[in-house]
Chains A and B, each alone.
Chain A
């Protein structure tokens, strides 16, 4: 299981790019970190989630 934004999901083995696209994230607005380390956007297609990972995906909204 992978914990994403506090929620357990059965997505170990999936790439970051696959998960983001299946969850309808706007790639231009997000920041992704796994276990406290940022995932560079250039690595989204190659980086896979492992069992036990803790992930935060921040999806920015406008206003300031």
Chain B
């Protein structure tokens, strides 16, 4: 049992890299954790989906994340996205990188504070093993998915559609549309019709995406 003083000291000093790795081995197994450690995952869009996906993957020990968003943290993001009130106005890519480094200090991060378009996709996500589509706009989702499936068919792609409103958690599903293309969500709840985004429902969809990424990295491709 640590004395209160020792507790304070421990809180100020993060565990060593090997201590954190040992903890992951204990909870996830060595073989699986080593696969996560060697992986590169790109997260396209760092909102309600992407920020939650990134936190899950960082906690699981994914070795390298590529984080891409052109937007800044807004006060209306705080109810469902992994940012702090003190970060309003900051670029999301920088704010999320700072938060992830507090959670997982030894993670390797590449951040891009820019908009993804058809011309820069390959340069931005070309080194990833798995790509997460985590945009909010339906047209942008379709653009990213079409472009990746047409030009980068060797990549695994985990996308999302339909998580607005306050519908049941049981409606959030994962479908394997093509061998390398997975889709999470209820597929129908459009934010323009539901008129709300409820934090746990968005987080459920993000968790479904993050779990799908980890399953792919672990060699489990069925759903």
Contact = CB atoms under 8 A, between A and B. Distances in A.
A31 B191 contact: no
Interface stretch (A8-16, A45-53, A54-62): A54-62
Contacts of A40: 146, 150
Nearest to A27: B142
B192 interface: yes
B55 interface: no
A40 B118 CA distance: 13
Nearest to B191: A63
A38 B146 contact: yes
Interface residues of B, number: 37
Contact of B178 (A33, A41, A61): A33
B117 to A, nearest CB: 14
B139 interface: yes
Contacts of B149: 31, 33, 38
B139 A64 contact: no
A58 B192 CA distance: 18
B208 interface: no
A39 to B, nearest CB: 9
B197 interface: yes
A63 B197 contact: yes
Given A28-B142, A38-B149, A41-B146, A62 B177 contact: no
Contact of A38 (B141, B150, B197): B150
A61 B188 contact: yes
A60 B146 CA distance: 12
B183 to A, nearest CB: 6
A13 B142 CA distance: 26
A30 B161 contact: no
Interface string B117-156: 0000000000000000011111101100110011001000
B202 A58 contact: no
B34 interface: no
A30 B161 CA distance: 11
Contacts of A63: 48, 136, 162-164, 189-191, 194, 197, 202
B119 to A, nearest CB: 16
B45 interface: yes
18 contacts: A29-B141, A29-B142, A31-B145, A33-B177, A38-B153, A38-B178, A41-B146, A58-B145, A60-B142, A61-B162, A61-B189, A63-B48, A63-B194, A64-B45, A64-B48, A64-B50, A64-B136, A64-B202
Given A60-B161, A61-B162, 10 more contacts: A29-B138, A29-B139, A29-B141, A29-B142, A36-B178, A58-B145, A60-B141, A61-B164, A64-B136, A64-B160
